Structure 1
Amino acid sequence: MTPDEYCRNKASSSGSSFYNSFRFLPKDKRRAITALYAFCREVDDVVDECTDTNVARTTLNWWRNEVAAIYGVGKPQHPVAQALVPVVKQFNLSQEHLLEIIDGMEMDLEQSRYEDFKSLQLYCYRVASVVGLLSVEIFGYTDRQTLKYAHDLGIALQLTNIIRDVGEDARRNRIYLPMDEMQQFGVTAADILNSRETENFQKLMAFQIERAQRYYRQAMDHLPAVDRKAQRTGLIMATVYQATLQEIVTSGCHVLKERVSLTPNFKFWLAFKAWLKN
């Protein structure tokens, strides 16, 4: 199996909307974004699948060495790192950004609560906005305002993930809702960990949903018309995730006890529609 084949298998096995949006890209960009996505999946799996925190931290440090090797300090061992070697050169991807993604994943080893939105925003930036900034380099852009679009879209997508996965994360003793906002709305950690869907919880989630929607609006406001066509993959992601957010609202926001997801056919229809529109 070649490094590129490994990346395709890694990315496709996730069933992600992000991977499904790649099919519309030219071959070289599709290869590059698949390698980047496979990298994100590998380092995310380190945290999600490793039960020993020390082993997970050691593995993330190993990945930091792999990133150094991608940029010429040694020879990369992992097929994903090998696949990224020509990609980072062709699209001028920042080594610091790849390391920031690892830093974001490591935050899950160090904390399971976030005191306020500022601290949560740092997490969202590292695990999502940075991926967006790297993706923009692969897709191509002419106006630097597009970088602001990528930043805000990354925050919006990650906030949508957090809203969708409140119950699932709670079952792993993780709460990504800012603690000061929980206190503001009269929601305790015990309420979330025990799936108590109170009226106050619903008000808290309405607040979180409005914030995510605001970041989507900001992202779209930042995207210049000249770069819309190049950034169609990100716009497809935005369309699918906004539809997921709307489905959460429509279904009553029962995120403590259920995980809302769109059918593959509906996601493909949304993606195709977004591609034609942009």
Structure 2
Amino acid sequence: MVPPLPRPPPPRPARPGGLAEPRPVHAPAGGALVPGPRAGDPRAGARQDRAVSGETGLDLSRARRGTRELTHRAGANFSVGFRFLPRERRQAVYAAYAFCRHADDAVDEGDPETAPARLQEWADELDATYAGRPRTETGVALLAALPRFPIPRQAFEGLIAGCRQDLVKTRYATFAELLGYCDLVATTISTISLAIFGGLGDPEAEARGRDLATALQLTNVVRDVGEDVGRGRVYLPLEDLARFGVTEEELLSLRPTPRLSALVAFEAERALGYFRAAEPVKDLVDPPCRFAVTMMGGVYAEVAARVARRPEAPLSGRVSLSRGEKVRAVLARLLRRRFVLGD
């Protein structure tokens, strides 16, 4: 039997955390890198896009196409909600997601010995992008979004700090310690998202956005138990292993046992608790983004619920939803706009 789920803690304060050199995009004093278009003025937006392409020497249309394709390929669950965003916000979130994905892949993919150097390349690209001199297509797509959606640079810096932590830290003693990691790699994503969806600067929206970001990251933790063990990482808190009588050797073997299944189910239920706490955020973002946010959280909540029902599944491979299951998730939330259904 799974012990009672602890109530989510109060919101934590956010924690910071060989390419040709193009010409810089010059910013007016105290202003944006490229002057932003007036709301509802597509011609001004088109002029700005041409300016970004011209100043950087990179094809913005191609860059946006690449970030969209990467997002739907690498974030198949997460990106379901993105399809419901208005065009400019969708382009911005694709660019932001792609940048975060590249930083994460710099740590998780390829030769571990060269991972620090790969991650530093993306830290350097962040500096270049915010200086108006992106050197990659992902950077130019992000640059084009910044005048419309002023994403705080510190949010990306926090994410990169979390990726650096993955290079040196492979165990978390307590859940509180894991939440500190979530502040770096997940709640920074909340800041990025609220800058695009609306709500940044609203204390309640930011608090509930952190709850949602934490729920998403905790879902990643239980969804990817087997994959993370293969990389030598254990994100399940060691205090929880002890609570359920699971040894680290038992976890590393990835053999389903009643104790290990109970542990994974508990962590999945904990993620669902954060989804429930985050429900109000859907009504705190701008109206055109509300259903997209519902689907972003809703699809992930479906994954967490599946792990809670079948906790042995992530021990043998990543848990994901089929295309049909995603369609059903969309239809269900057209009728009931909640992250967690069945409550």
Q: How does the TM-score come out when normalised to structure 1?
A: 0.90
Counterpart of 1:172 in structure 2 is 231
Residue correspondence of structure 1 range 87-106 to structure 2 within 5 A: 87-106=145-164
Which residue of structure 2 aligns with residue 209 of structure 1? Answer: 268
Offset of residue 48 of structure 1:
1.3
Go from structure 1 to structure 2 and tell me whether the alpha carbon gap of 1:46 and 1:274 turns closer, same or farther (over 3 Å shift). Answer: same
**Letter in structure 1 aligned against 2:161:** D
Residue equivalent to 1:45? 105
Q: Does the aligned pair in 2 maintain the 1:66–1:81 contact within 8 Å?
A: yes
What pairs up with 1:126-145 in 2 under 5 angstroms?
126-141=184-199, 143-145=202-204
Would you say 1:17 and 2:82 are equivalent positions?
no
Structure 1 vs Structure 2: percent identity of aligned residues? 34
SS at match of 1:262: coil
Q: Helix, strand or coil for the counterpart of 1:16?
A: coil
Unaligned ranges ≥5, structure 1? none
Bigger Cα displacement from structure 2, 222-231 vs 239-248: 222-231
Letter in 1 for 2:73: S
In our comparison, the structure showing a higher alpha carbon Rg is 2
Query: In structure 1, what is the equivalent of residue 135 of structure 2?
Result: 77
> Corresponding residue for 1:110?
168
Bigger mean CA deviation after superposition, 154-163 or 238-247:
238-247
State the superposition RMSD in angstroms.
2.1
Q: Which one-letter code corresponds to 1:50 in the other structure?
A: G
Q: Which residue of 2 aligns with 1:7?
A: 67
Hey, which of these two has a bigger chunk of helix by percent? 1
Q: Is the 8 A contact 1:145 1:224 kept in 2?
A: no
1:193 aligned partner: 252
Q: Residues 252-263 of structure 1 correspond to what in structure 2 (within 5 A)?
A: 252-263=311-322
SS at match of 2:314: coil
Report SS of the residue matched to 2:195.
helix
TM-score normalised according to structure 2 size? 0.74
Q: Measure how far apart 1:272 and its partner are.
A: 4.4
1:104 and 1:126 in contact (8 A); partners too: yes
Task: State the Cα deviation string for residues 106-161 of structure 1 (Å, max 9, x = none).
Answer: 22111111121122112222222211221111012384311111111011111111
Distance 1:274 1:224 in 2: 12
